Amino acid sequence: MCNYSEYERQASRLYEAIVGPKKFKTVQFSADNLWDAAWSLRKNKKITDFIFDEIVGVTYILEHEEVELSKEKIEEKRRKLASLILDIENGNAAGDVEKTALGPLLETLSMRSKEAVVDSEYFSELKKYMHVERPIQAELELQIQKLLEKTKGIVFLVGNVGDGKSHLLAYMKEKYANEFNDRQIELINDATESDSPNHTAIETLINKLEMYNDHNIQRGQKRLIIAINLGVITNLLYKLEQNDNFNELVNYLKKSGISNGEVQPYTHPVFSNVSFFNQEMFEVNDNKVESQFFLAMFDKVFSMKEENPFYQAYLQDKKNHHTQAFHANYKLLLDSNIKNSIIYLLIRAQIEYKEIISARTLMNFIYDILISNKEKINYDSYLPFLVFDNSETSALLKTISLMDPTNNQNREVDKLSVKLFHSNDVFNFIKETFRDDYKRFEPMFDKFRNKEDNLKYFKLLVNTMFRVKFLINAQNSVLNNPEFQDFIEILQDVNNTGSSLDLFKLINESVNLWNGRISKERYVVTMRAKNSTAIAVELELEPISWEVKNFSVVVTVENQNATAKNEIQQIEIDYKTYALLRKVVKGYILKREDIQMVVKFEEFVNSITRSTKGERTNILYNPNLNKEYELKKVYDKIILRELGE
């Protein structure tokens, strides 16, 4: 037997964890019995080959007394053994997802799953369960009712890839099976497929539309519902214009706005459309941003309801002691606070980074934050890491990694970090910090036990603590982005009162500073100048109307000092523009990449200043001399004087 007594005691605890307390009392611990117990687990797919090999390594040390190990080496072996015991005790050693009930069900959410490919001819039981009613469903049903009453017509269902067009068509086909059959309504589910090797997808679609060319549009009976992506519509429009036999349809595609994603209220007796582009994905209530669609989708997976197959599979695995890291992650997301924190991050990704999150992208995201693609279960197999430190898995997770709360620096964060660093018992400090919440995250924190003296692992432990703190309550956390919260409050103001004085003051100040700062108030530099003399004109803007549109605020302003009277212009302020303007009014010097990022605001400033009259008084600024001059017309004389004299 190995003479490292503490290591041997740990190995005995590992054996007990594998065989259970009852058998441990009757079958004596030995290296051979440990090997046999581990092999039994491996044979029954309850541990991975990787874990089995680690246990074999333990038995080798126990059996070879002659093996000489340094004190440092034996300490390293003990730490690994302690981690291995925790894996076995917490049920995190069975790496085969397929052997669980929950794992295969979660895999249906992945884009790699065959369930991700939607067929309008078949609506599976799981898809029926996952169906979430959205406003667009009511719109489509209304157009279907109108189509049933027509002798001829087309309903275009328009959106981006993964929006849920195919899913919605499959749902409608099942719901209106008799009506579609009686009225011979044809569904074209995927306008990107060809029906012949000699035809492109667009040519196939045009063949389907022949009954709607200018010659046939008033003849015959044919009813179509076409699910189509925006890119395909653009190509279709180009081909139809070349054909010159579809002027009526071309005119509709242009005037309705579906060819560019900006749908207009334009009606036609034969053609109609329902667009995903018109759907608002979030709401602002009580200065908090919410998404009913995201919440409904998450509740389909993470709710303790009897009809929820995911929850039932989780309970089944729990009963059979088939628990892995993704079970712990699943359990965390049953908590409404953590669930809402994840949804909040998704909404921020949309508003801050203009991320397009389709239904398919959302389901794949749920899969990615539950199941790690790494073979060994470690600290990075758990929810906080899969959400914030998993950027290589998908474009969406790369965006969310930019919102990692560990990137936030403020006094509270620094204070907490210092306290943790100087704590005599790091894990006790974390336990006291999270109180009742600690137990839920304990398996993850335990992955750092006996490693906290290593600077690398200490930093990871600190990051883990901040990420957990954020997930427990994101919107009220000191780790939240206060600038984003201010922007949400502006959206709320515009929705509630029809304006935002704070935002207009920010726009006005930013226009005044955009091309350079001069001393005289209400004067704006017309062009950005490095070495040449710049001209500043007097500017007076007045807001006329406000609108929240596509995660932005659209402000219509009147330039009251314009050359042409009543000149009206619009400026769209999205989050990135808002954040940059806040920096500008605090003295930030614009860089070229900043201007490229907010090109619409740059164009707005240039347009406003070009159209502003400077008939009587202008300001000249020479950056080389760092002097300002007033150029003033008094009667028929031009007077130039240095300001500040």
CA distances from 634 to 43, 521, 617, 638 (A): 99, 21, 9, 6
Q: Report the percent of the chain where pLDDT is more than 90.
A: 38
Query: Is the CB of residue 481 less than 8 Å from the CB of residue 410?
Result: no
Q: Each residue of 312-345: pLDDT tens digit?
A: 999 999 888 777 889 999 999 999 999 999 999 9
445-455 average pLDDT score: 78
Question: Residues 6 or more apart from 606 whose CB is under 8 A from it?
Answer: 527
What sections of 27-120 are H helices per DSSP?
A: 31-43, 49-63, 71-89, 102-107
CA 532/CA 624 separation, integer angstroms? 8
Q: What is the pLDDT of residue 84?
A: 74
CA 60/CA 109 separation, integer angstroms? 42
Q: Which pLDDT band holds residue 252 (cuts at 50, 70, 90)?
A: very high
Asked whether the predicted pLDDT for residue 73 surpasses 70, the reply is yes
Asked whether the predicted pLDDT for residue 111 surpasses 70, the reply is yes
Q: What is the pLDDT of residue 470?
A: 93
Q: What is the pLDDT of residue 49?
A: 63
- DSSP calls for 399-439: HHHTT-GGG---HHHHHHHHHHHT-SSHHHHHHHHHGGGHH
Q: Each residue of 180-228: pLDDT tens digit?
A: 999 999 998 765 555 555 667 888 889 999 999 999 998 888 899 999 9
The residue behind tokens 């957990």 is 468
Query: Is the CB of residue 205 less than 8 Å from the CB of residue 241?
Result: no
CA 310/CA 304 separation, integer angstroms? 9
138-152 average pLDDT score: 94
Give me 477's structure tokens. 């956390």
Q: Say how many C-beta atoms besides its own lie within 10 A of residue 550's C-beta.
A: 14
Ranges for all domains in the chain classified under CATH 3.40.50: 135-275
Mean pLDDT lowest among 71-75, 133-137, 174-178, 411-415: 71-75
Q: Each residue of 589-631: pLDDT tens digit?
A: 889 899 899 999 999 988 888 777 655 666 776 666 667 767 6
Question: Residues 6 or more apart from 307 whose CB is under 8 A from it?
Answer: 129
Q: What is the pLDDT of residue 455?
A: 80
Q: What is the pLDDT of residue 243?
A: 85
Question: Residues 6 or more apart from 222 whose CB is under 8 A from it?
Answer: 152, 186, 211, 212
Q: What is the pLDDT of residue 344?
A: 94
Q: What is the pLDDT of residue 1?
A: 42
Q: Which pLDDT band holds residue 454 (cuts at 50, 70, 90)?
A: confident
CA geometry: angle at 456 spanning 451 and 461, to 5°? 65
Q: Which pLDDT band holds residue 369 (cuts at 50, 70, 90)?
A: very high
Number of alpha carbons in the 13 Å side-chain half-sphere of residue 297: 22
Q: What is the pLDDT of residue 613?
A: 66
Q: What is the pLDDT of residue 2?
A: 46
151-168 average pLDDT score: 89
Q: What is the pLDDT of residue 3?
A: 47
The domain made up of 135-275 has a fold known as: Rossmann fold (3.40.50)
Query: Is the CB of residue 537 less than 8 Å from the CB of residue 545?
Result: no
CA 311/CA 308 separation, integer angstroms? 5
Q: Each residue of 390-429: pLDDT tens digit?
A: 999 999 999 999 999 988 877 877 888 888 888 888 888 9
Query: Is the CB of residue 208 less than 8 Å from the CB of residue 196?
Result: no
578-592 average pLDDT score: 93
Mean pLDDT lowest among 256-265, 306-315, 481-490, 527-536: 527-536
CA 36/CA 39 separation, integer angstroms? 5
CA geometry: angle at 522 spanning 516 and 528, to 5°? 20
